[in-house]
Structure 1
Amino acid sequence: MSGERPASRLEALRFARRVVAQQAAAALAQLDGWIKAEEKREAEQRRGREMRPAPPDWLIQYGLNRGNVDAVHAGDCWAAAKSGRCRPATREQALDALRRQVPPCVHCQPDSALGVLD
């Protein structure tokens, strides 16, 4: 190491500035990548919501053996979603089921919405 002089304080500060600038550029590039990935994820979710078919207006809930009908629900009933045994139905099918004494859901009250009163 003969002939080399120690770095001056000014040179050390300029070196430190270059290091910080490189680290900041790398951090910004990483953040930009995260932003791009999040924008892509949100766009995919938006496309998925737009392409999802509209929920049915009415649902008929079947028993465990799928033979008997247990209840009539509105299409957006949370209780129907929990049961997992529902099939989409037309307005006429829901009305027919209610007329055959199939019980209406106590949560969404499809009989009121359909205008069927006891």
Structure 2
Amino acid sequence: MSELPPDLPRLRTLETWLVVSLDRVRQRIAEVETREAALRPVRVLPEGPGWVLSYLRVGGRPVVDSIHVGDCRMAGTHTKPISRDEARHALTADGIRACEICRPDSDLGILD
């Protein structure tokens, strides 16, 4: 690397030039990233079910446990996707309980 100027005015000039150059480089990087992002394919994940019916295993047989919002992690591994109408019916007419964490009854407009 070459020697830097010994006096303050030339050092300040050099500093200004470097700052301006760095700003131009960063602007160009942002432009290229934007262009490349626009060309990159977007992977759309499939939307999960709105509601799920959760089962417990009792004596090796499935027993209905509760209704959950589709992305509730409390639903467990034994689930069945259901429609909005099926979820409303299960909570009201069938007497199946709503998950106390995700509260599907609130999303469905069912009041206690």
Which residue number corresponds to residue 114 of structure 1? 108
Which residue number corresponds to residue 72 of structure 1? 67
Deviation of residue 54 (structure 1)?
1.1
Task: Specify the SS of the correspondent of 1:94.
Answer: helix
Q: Superposed, which structure 2 residues align to 1:51-66 within 5 Å?
A: 52-64=45-57, 65-66=61-62
From the two aligned structures, give the one with the greater strand fraction.
Answer: 2
Give, in whole Å, the separation in 2 of the partners of 1:115 and 1:56. 18
Task: Specify the SS of the correspondent of 2:97.
Answer: coil
Which residue number corresponds to residue 81 of structure 2? 88
List runs of 5+ in structure 2 lacking aligned partners.
Answer: 1-39
Instruction: Return the letter of the residue paired with 1:106.
Output: E
Rg larger in structure:
1
Detail structure 1 runs of 4+ shifted over 3 Å in the superposition: none
Post-superposition Cα deviations, 1:42-81, rounded to whole Å, max 9, x if no partner, equal x8xx64xx2x421100000012122x3100000111212x
- Give the counterpart of 2:99 among 97, 105, 108: 105
From the two aligned structures, give the one with the greater helix fraction.
Answer: 1
Deviation of residue 117 (structure 1)?
1.1
- Aligned pairs, how many? 69
Task: Specify the SS of the correspondent of 1:79.
Answer: helix
List runs of 5+ in structure 1 lacking aligned partners.
Answer: 1-42
Instruction: Return the letter of the residue paired with 1:103.
Output: R
Give, in whole Å, the separation in 2 of the partners of 1:54 and 1:84. 18
Root-mean-square deviation (Å): 1.8
Post-superposition Cα deviations, 1:19-42, rounded to whole Å, max 9, x if no partner, equal xxxxxxxxxxxxxxxxxxxxxxxx
Normalised TM-score (structure 2): 0.55
